[in-house]
Amino acid sequence: MNEQLNSDAGRTTRRSPRIAVIGGGMSGILTAIKLQAAGITDFTVYEKADRLGGTWRENTYPGLSCDVPSHMYRYSFAPNAEWSHRFSPGAEIQAYFESVAKQYNVESFVSFNSEITRAAYRDGKWHLEIGGEEIDVVDIVISATGVLHHPVYPDIAGLDDFAGAVFHSARWNHEAPLDGKRIGIVGTGSTAVQITADIVHRAKHLSLFQRTAQWIFPQENPAFSEQEKEVFRHQPQAMDDLHASLTRLFADTFGRAVIGDKAQMQRVEDACLANLEDNVRDPELKARLTPDYQAACKRLIVSDGFYEAIQQPNAELVTAPIERVEAAGLRTGDGRLHELDVLVLATGFDGHSFMRPMALIGKDGVDLKDVWAEATQAHRSIAIPGFPNFFMLVGPNSPIGNFSLIDISERQLGYIMQLIESWRSGAAREISARQDATDRFNAALKEAMKDTVWVTGCQSWYLDKNGNPAMWPFTFDRFCEDMAAPNLEEYDLVS
């Protein structure tokens, strides 16, 4: 299956590609490091902002933390002995990525404040534009734009009429005062839960506007002791062992629960229900906080402080539907005006944009907006038929709700680097996914998706406009096997 790839890699005649990497978040930093390690230095990372970090740069809201354990959420080659907690705060993760980027000289390859608006393939090259002006011509494009970076704003009448400070959680206004203020939060996802737990004690009154109750998994977040950090500093293998054990545990429990393992899912639900039962006293509030759908159909929330926060005397869970925004606050369907000074929109992101709104024009003028008009599909989440030498990290149907995103990106990049090696060896100047292979892959995804939790009836950002989850319905081991090496029979190779 891979004899051709291995043979090509051994040839003495090699070509040097010019590569563009779109995005300077976790995956973009990773790509810059791995390209250098492969001896490729003719590349540019195009970053739309003035700083690396991606989602950890853009999200700075109070209480921000990762819901994946610290020693699991890190590059395999860059363990960090200094994590402060079991689940790291956002600023610490941002500092980690910037530190790793500095260590590997990533910034020297970055073009900041450079949002690519169009990429078109013609004459065997990708032509990149910013605002209608061509700024680069490259052989290969690697899209590392991430998934959750386009905020979704709620469609609420009168939103512009609010007299106080109003902002999306991913565009936090740090100049807006919170202490002693009446604060409203729209949304009950992970972001809203983290914000609520962090700021409730600062507010005069906090109103959390809930459309859907959430499953909340109990998980303490203790600080690492100095003794533990000393072990990590002097025994790096201990960090690797912890990473491996956490990854295996996650894959064999939650990773299996979401794809149809009923016994594992029952354990998840039991833990969440016990958390609710043990920590919420008022029966009426408990009833309103009880979900009416299967656990993990939406992204499962990990929190050790939300239930305590929402029961504070100055906190209120509002379940009446929002009717409109007025200058003084939010009016709900029961006619009540909830007077507010600050309004936070914790309403999430569009998880189906990927590299868009960048226009992507493939071979023979094929436009991605037409290809993805009905569904965002790719071959093994990596490549799109008709778009030669264009590869994606964390593309459609990546296991973003199953495993650590960094591990996903590392494995996908390893797969992509093998395709690039085929280009460098001279075996192919154009590498694109075959349409029949892509169709088979997506048909298999659709069939397997029938057994997953994501199709059990809830509404979530996992679903596209047709109700299809852009998720991974197989095991972690299947993902690792798929990403171990490309099957070149699934690709059109033009020499």
Instruction: Sketch the domain layout of the chain as residue ranges.
Output: 3-150+350-494, 159-215+259-345
Integer CA distances (angstroms), 212 to 173, 188, 318, in order = 26, 7, 11
Query: Is the model's pLDDT at 113 over the cut of 80?
Result: yes
Query: Is the model's pLDDT at 8 over the cut of 60?
Result: no
Write down the pLDDT at residue 461: 87
Write down the pLDDT at residue 402: 83
Write down the pLDDT at residue 238: 96
Write down the pLDDT at residue 11: 42
| Chain segment 290-339, per-residue pLDDT in tens | 999 999 999 999 999 999 999 999 999 999 999 999 999 999 999 999 99
Write down the pLDDT at residue 9: 42
CATH number (3.20.20.70, 3.40.50.300, 3.50.50.60, 3.40.50.11610) of 159-215+259-345 reads 3.50.50.60
The answer to whether domain 3-150+350-494 and domain 159-215+259-345 are alike in fold is: yes
Write down the pLDDT at residue 13: 59
Q: Can you tell me the mean pLDDT for 15-30?
A: 97
Query: Is the model's pLDDT at 422 over the cut of 50?
Result: yes
209: pLDDT confidence band, cut at 50, 70 and 90?
very high
Q: Can you tell me the mean pLDDT for 211-215?
A: 96
| Chain segment 369-421, per-residue pLDDT in tens | 999 998 899 999 999 999 999 999 999 999 988 889 999 999 999 999 999 99
Domain 3-150+350-494 falls under CATH 3.30.465.10: no
Choose between 121 and 1: higher pLDDT.
121
- What value does the mean pLDDT of the chain take? 94
10: pLDDT confidence band, cut at 50, 70 and 90?
very low
Query: Is the model's pLDDT at 5 over the cut of 50?
Result: no
Write down the pLDDT at residue 352: 82
Q: Can you tell me the mean pLDDT for 159-181?
A: 97
350: pLDDT confidence band, cut at 50, 70 and 90?
confident
